[in-house]
Amino acid sequence: MVHDILFTREGYPRSNESIERSSGWNREPRMNRLQSFSPFKSAMICCLSGSFIAVVASAQTQLAATPPMGWNSWNHFAEKVSDADVRSAADALVSSGMRDAGYVYVNVDDTWEGERDAQGEIHPNYKFPDMKALGDYIHSKGLKFGIYSSPGPKTCAGFEGSYGHEEQDAQTYADWGVDFLKYDLCGLRDIMDIHNPQHDEQKANAIMRDAYVKMHKALEKTGRPIVYSICQYGSDGVWEWGADVGGNLWRTTDDISDSFRSMALIGFSQAGLERFAGPGHWNDPDMLEIGNGGMNADEYRTQMSLWAILAAPLLAGNDLSKMDETTKSILMNKEVIAVDQDKLGTQGSRIGPQQVWMKPLADGSKAVGLFNFVTDDVPQPITLRFKDIGFPGSVHVRDLWEHKEIGVLKGSYTVTPPKGGVVLLRIWE
Ligand code: GLA
C-alpha cells in the first residue's frame, strides 16, 4: 500500500505532494504484481526443485541474516573517494565504537575503477594503488570490504563496468578479499536498448534479471561468501524477484539526498513492501545521511528510527573521521540498532492513518515509531492505542531515544514528537 503524505513547510515536500506522484522514483504501487506474489508458491517451487536451491537459499540467508551494517563512500565523498579516505573510515569505525555496534562493512562505491589490461583484468585507478592491500587493511581491523560495479559496460559515473567480464571480475574481487558487491544497473540500460529496440517491458526485465543472475553465479563460483546488493532504483517491482536473482538486498527507490524531503519521501513510501523482506533478503531504501549536515538532529533521528523499523540496511554515508557527539549518539544508539537487527527479521509496517509505524520483535515486544512528518509550526500530538498493536492490557513502555522507562500504562499513550522528529518506543506486555 502506498499512502499520500502531506508536507507543509518550505524545504519539505510540497503541500499535497504524494508518494504516488513522485514518479521519477519508479515507486508505482503495482498492486497487481504485489498481490500475485505467493510465498507458499515460492516455497513449493523451492522444495520441488531439489536440495540445490535450498542450499543456496540457506547460504543467502546466512550471508545477511540481519540487515547489513557498515559505511559506504558515496553520500559524502562521491567521486572524490580515495584509498586514504577509505582507510580513515575503517579507522574511525573502530575508534568511534561503530564497529562494535555492528557497522562492519566498509564499502567503496563508484569511481575506484581503472582500465582493463590485455587479459581483460580490471585494475583500480590512481586513487586506489592496491585493492588487495586495502582489503587486507580493512580485514586487519575486524571489518569487511565492499566494492561496487555495474552489469553494464560503464558505471553510473562513467567508469569501467563488468559487462562481458563478470566471472573474471568476481574472481578478482574474491582475490582482493571482497565481502560485499553493490551491482548498479546504469550502463546496462544501453545494452538493454540495443537488444530490445522495441522497448518491450518483459524483454527488458528478462535482460536485466539475466544480468543480475550472471553476476550472482559468478560470485558463487568464486566460493567466497559475498553479500550481493542489487541497485536498479526500485524499478520493475524488484522486491518480487530480487531474492530470486540472488540479491541479499535491493534498492527500492532512486538515490537519497541529504534533505528531509528526500529522506521522508523515500522512508515513508516503503509501506507495503514489508512482505518481501526477511533474513537474507532485504528491501534497501538507500544509505543513511546522518551526519552529512543537511538535516537537523530530530530529522536524522527520524531516519535512524524509520530505517530501524523498516529492517533496512544501515550503511552510514558520512565522513566518519569528523563526527560530532550528536551524530555518534544517533548512529550508535544501541537500542535503535537492536530494533533494526532484531533476529525475527520482520520489516515494520505503517499502522493507522497517521505516521505510526510498528515492528514486531523476536521477544514478543514491539517497536513503535510516532513520527511528526506534518511539519506545521505547532507539532501535533499523536495517540497510540495499545490495543491497535495487539496489547489489550497493561504494557511496559520504554523510550529508545530518551533511554528511559515511561512506566506501566494501560489504554493509550499520547506524545508530541518534535517537528520532523520521532518518538521511538519499545512496548511489551
Ligand atoms: C547510482 C547509485 C548511487 C551511487 C552512484 C554511483 O546513482 O544509485 O547509490 O552508487 O550510482 O555512481
Question: How large is the greatest C-alpha to C-alpha distance in the chain, in angstroms?
Answer: 72
Q: What's the rounded Cα separation, in Å, for the pair 114 and 122?
A: 7
Any catalytic annotation for residue 255? yes
Q: What is the pLDDT of residue 20?
A: 35
Q: In which residue are the cell numbers 590512481 written?
A: 126
Position 27 pLDDT exceeds 60? no
Q: What is the pTM of this model?
A: 0.89
Quickly state the pLDDT bin for 60 (edges 50, 70, 90). confident
350-428: CATH homologous superfamily?
Golgi alpha-mannosidase II (2.60.40.1180)
CATH topology of domain 23-343: TIM Barrel (3.20.20)
β-strands 249-251, 227-231: how paired?
parallel
Position 47 pLDDT exceeds 60? no
Tell which atom from ligand 1 comes closest to the C-alpha of 251. 8
Quickly state the pLDDT bin for 353 (edges 50, 70, 90). confident
**Domain boundaries, given as residue ranges, for the chain:** 23-343, 350-428
Quickly state the pLDDT bin for 7 (edges 50, 70, 90). very low
| CB-ligand 1 contact for 157 (6 Å cutoff) | yes
| CB-ligand 1 contact for 184 (6 Å cutoff) | yes
CA of 239 to the centre of ligand 1 (A): 19
Handedness of CA 168, 170, 172, 175 (dihedral sign): negative
Q: What's the whole-number mean pLDDT along residues 285-308?
A: 98
CA of 159 to the centre of ligand 1 (A): 12
Among the listed residues 329, 234, 242, the one whose alpha carbon sits nearest the alpha carbon of residue 285 = 234
pLDDT tens by residue, 122-158: 999 999 999 999 999 999 999 999 999 999 999 999 9
Q: In which residue are the cell numbers 517497536 written?
A: 367
Tell which atom from ligand 1 comes closest to the C-alpha of 157. 12
Closest CA to ligand 1's atom 6: 110
| CB-ligand 1 contact for 179 (6 Å cutoff) | no
pLDDT tens by residue, 366-423: 999 999 976 556 788 999 999 999 999 999 999 999 999 999 999 999 999 999 999 9
Closest CA to ligand 1's atom 11: 156
CA of 153 to the centre of ligand 1 (A): 15
Position 48 pLDDT exceeds 70? no
Among the listed residues 74, 102, 350, 344, the one whose alpha carbon sits nearest the alpha carbon of residue 231 = 74
Q: What's the whole-number mean pLDDT along residues 82-103?
A: 98
| CB-ligand 1 contact for 74 (6 Å cutoff) | yes
- Give the helix, strand, coil percentages of the chain, each rounded to 5: 40, 20, 45
Any catalytic annotation for residue 130? no
pLDDT, the chain, mean: 89
CA of 119 to the centre of ligand 1 (A): 28
Question: Phi/psi class of residue 280: alpha, beta or left (left: φ > 0; alpha: ψ in -120 to 50)?
Answer: left
Choose the catalytic residue: 85, 110, 184, 286.
184
Q: What's the rounded Cα separation, in Å, for the pair 2 and 246?
A: 26
pLDDT tens by residue, 251-284: 999 999 999 999 999 999 999 999 999 999 999 9
Taken as a whole, the chain contains a residue count of 429
Q: What is the pLDDT of residue 37?
A: 28
| CB-ligand 1 contact for 156 (6 Å cutoff) | yes
Q: What is the pLDDT of residue 55?
A: 57
DSSP for 182-250 reads EEE-TTHHHHHHHH-TT--HHHHHHHHHHHHHHHHHHHHHHTS--EEEEESTTGGGHHHHTTTTT-SEE
Beginning with the edge strand found earlier in the chain, give each strand of the sheet holding 356-360 in spatial order.
Answer: 349-351, 356-360, 366-371, 422-428, 395-399, 404-409
Among the listed residues 102, 37, 85, 31, the one whose alpha carbon sits nearest the alpha carbon of residue 318 = 85
Q: What's the rounded Cα separation, in Å, for the pair 71 and 314?
A: 8
Question: Hey, which of 72, 75, 147, 156 would you mutate to test ligand 1's pocket, going by the most ligand atoms within 8 Å of its Cβ?
Answer: 156
Q: What is the pLDDT of residue 374?
A: 65
